[in-house]
Amino acid sequence: MTERRKSIHGSWSGRLAFVLAATGSAVGLGNIWKFPYIAGENGGGAFVLVYLVCIATIGIPIMMAEVMLGRRGRQSPINTMRTLAEEAGASHIWRYLGWMGVLAGFLILSYYSVIAGWALAYVFRAASGMFHGATAEGVLSIFGQFTGDPEKLLAWHTLFMVMTMIVVARGVRSGLERAVRFLVPGLFVLLLMLDGYALASGAFDQGLRFLFTPDFSKITANGVLIAMGHAFFTLSLGMGAIMVYGSYLPERTSIARTSITIAVLDTLVAMLAGMAIFPLVFLNGLEPGAGPGLIFQTLPLAFGHMPGGALFGALFFVLLVFAAWTSAISLIEPAVAWLVENKGMTRVHASVFAGIVTWATGLLTVFSFNLWSGFRPLSFISIFRNYTVFDLLDYLTANIMLPLGGFFIAVFAAWVMKRDDSVQELDMGDGAAYRLWYGLVRYVTPAAVLLVFLNVTGLVDFSDLLGMAK
């Protein structure tokens, strides 16, 4: 069956290229910027535990499902879903799953690019020696002045969007594959270095305890949803990014092995980042729940006090920009592939068009940190009391749209698609491993997403069971 379909967009040069690209998509701001600050806001250990359980029981199986659907459909997620629904004799409505993914990707990229812009700006701040000998108040004030200036944020956001559009316009192979080859190892080395620094700082134990001692009285129902949403976000799942990358995957690559590799690498990066940051937070009397500025308010302190800090700091932020870059590309790829397939645009036109729309939407986030920082549009709902427009965008996409996308991907892969077809496409036989995957995707993932949703709305309440905070 699959032999008959071919992607019009080209394909990866091999398994390694796919692993690198998908790892590039997964490893990004989510691991280094977002994971520490949401773990900090949601009390640490219990949050991290829920997140890890979600990666293993929902993330890996959904990643396999997405790669499988992509490789079988060989088109943008919208057209892949349409084709596969036809093949399974199901309704065309399934293509809206592809549409929701395109919308989610574009909304995520709109704020992702603004934060990546911060990282870009910090390359130059670190290199200039601005953090040398800095104090906690000093770095807080540098950060506050920076984010308080809409023009600066806008300029860096624009630069990052232009960088993203250039790579997307060039297509699947050139640039992207090569970039990831040194990015992931480089990131590991620098994170290990920062961990070494944190280890010597004297507060390493306290950081570890915060991250790895689960105390369920510190997590709320909303915290559980945020942990699950982050499992989707960090692995780039639920919106078609991994599906579209799967559509460029050569035949006969083991989907299971590949997915596990990507998930393990991604999780390692997040753990290394958390272990580097929390000791510094406690050492300097900073707030673990400081929010989106957390790494920009802690890491400069480390760079400001270590020998060669200007160099290592600049290098770290360069790598962070690269990590964000390789993720940003995958956020917009489903939309670009669709514009090329259905609107007859060239890749260049499609990238420019999608880029401009995303860039303009990014203004919502730019202003959330300055002109509109006091604007709380949904303050009448208790969990959104303190949410800015940026917080709401992030919440809507990561915690609602991605898990919902994942829910329907699971339903499609294990209830709609013929079982024989998934056996064939996953290509690992019909033994225990396949059955485990099938059971997880058929029952566990949909049930887990549903329960966590219901728990937040208060319709189901398992807080007493786990001793969670209300």
**Of 270, 256, 356, 212, nearest in space to 19 by CA:** 256
Among 23, 259, 330, 358, binds ligand PFF (CB under 6 A): 330
Q: Which is nearer to ligand PFF, 29 or 142 (CB)?
A: 29
Q: Minimal distance in Å, beta carbon 60 to ligand PFF?
A: 14
What is the spatial distance between Cα 183 and Cα 172, in angstroms, rounded to a whole number?
Answer: 17
Among 110, 220, 327, 445, binds ligand PFF (CB under 6 A): 327
User: By CB under 6 A, what part of segment 7-36 binds ligand PFF?
Assistant: 25-26, 28-31
User: By CB under 6 A, what part of segment 25-84 binds ligand PFF?
Assistant: 25-26, 28-31
What is the spatial distance between Cα 430 and Cα 428, in angstroms, rounded to a whole number?
Answer: 7
CA 423, distance to chain mean position in Å, is 28
Q: Minimal distance in Å, beta carbon 30 to ligand PFF?
A: 2
DSSP class of 414: I
Point out the residue whose Cβ comes nearest to ligand PFF: 30
Q: Which is nearer to ligand PFF, 30 or 304 (CB)?
A: 30
Cβ(101)–Cβ(334) below 8 Å:
yes
Q: Which two tokens stand for residue 3?
A: 């032999």
What is the spatial distance between Cα 389 and Cα 116, in angstroms, rounded to a whole number?
Answer: 18
What is the spatial distance between Cα 52 and Cα 371, in angstroms, rounded to a whole number?
Answer: 37
Q: Which two tokens stand for residue 154?
A: 């806008």
Q: How far is CA 36 from CA 12, 249, 263, 277, 279, in A?
A: 32, 32, 18, 7, 12
Q: Which is nearer to ligand PFF, 30 or 70 (CB)?
A: 30
User: By CB under 6 A, what part of segment 89-118 binds ligand PFF?
Assistant: 105, 108
The span from the first CA to the last CA of the chain, in angstroms, equals 51
Q: Which is nearer to ligand PFF, 227 or 301 (CB)?
A: 227
Q: Minimal distance in Å, beta carbon 242 to ligand PFF?
A: 7
Spatial neighbors of 114 by CB under 8 A, at least 6 apart, are 153, 156, 157, 362, 365, 366, 390
Q: Minimal distance in Å, beta carbon 110 to ligand PFF?
A: 13
Q: Which is nearer to ligand PFF, 111 or 204 (CB)?
A: 111
Q: Minimal distance in Å, beta carbon 330 to ligand PFF?
A: 5
**Residue count, binding to ligand PFF (CB under 6 A):** 16
Q: Which is nearer to ligand PFF, 140 or 328 (CB)?
A: 328
User: By CB under 6 A, what part of segment 223-242 binds ligand PFF?
Assistant: 233-234, 236, 239, 241
What is the spatial distance between Cα 199 and Cα 205, in angstroms, rounded to a whole number?
Answer: 8
Cβ(25)–Cβ(242) below 8 Å:
yes
- In the block, tokens 């203004």 appear at 363
Q: Which two tokens stand for residue 297?
A: 């308010």
Q: Which is nearer to ligand PFF, 164 or 330 (CB)?
A: 330
Q: Which is nearer to ligand PFF, 228 or 283 (CB)?
A: 228
What is the spatial distance between Cα 431 and Cα 125, in angstroms, rounded to a whole number?
Answer: 55
What is the spatial distance between Cα 277 and Cα 37, in angstroms, rounded to a whole number?
Answer: 10
Q: Minimal distance in Å, beta carbon 269 to ligand PFF?
A: 9
Q: Minimal distance in Å, beta carbon 76 to ligand PFF?
A: 13
User: By CB under 6 A, what part of segment 176-195 binds ligand PFF?
Assistant: none
Residue 314 touches ligand PFF, criterion: CB under 6 A: no
Q: Which is nearer to ligand PFF, 140 or 404 (CB)?
A: 404
Residue 331 touches ligand PFF, criterion: CB under 6 A: yes
Helical packing angle, 347-368 and 150-170, nearest 10°: 160
Cβ(125)–Cβ(131) below 8 Å:
yes
Stretch near ligand PFF under the rule CB under 6 A, chosen from 1-9, 16-24, 184-192, 327-335: 327-335
Q: Minimal distance in Å, beta carbon 406 to ligand PFF?
A: 11
What is the spatial distance between Cα 53 and Cα 291, in angstroms, rounded to a whole number?
Answer: 24
Cα dihedral across residues 115, 116, 119, 121: positive or negative: negative
Longest dimension (CA), the chain: 66
Q: Minimal distance in Å, beta carbon 193 to ligand PFF?
A: 21
Q: Which is nearer to ligand PFF, 29 or 389 (CB)?
A: 29
Q: Minimal distance in Å, beta carbon 15 to ligand PFF?
A: 20
Cβ(305)–Cβ(196) below 8 Å:
no
Q: Minimal distance in Å, beta carbon 29 to ligand PFF?
A: 4
Q: Which is nearer to ligand PFF, 28 or 274 (CB)?
A: 28
Q: Which is nearer to ligand PFF, 304 or 403 (CB)?
A: 403
Q: Minimal distance in Å, beta carbon 55 to ligand PFF?
A: 12
Residue 440 touches ligand PFF, criterion: CB under 6 A: no
Contacts with ligand PFF by CB under 6 A lie at: 25-26, 28-31, 105, 108, 233-234, 236, 239, 241, 327, 330-331
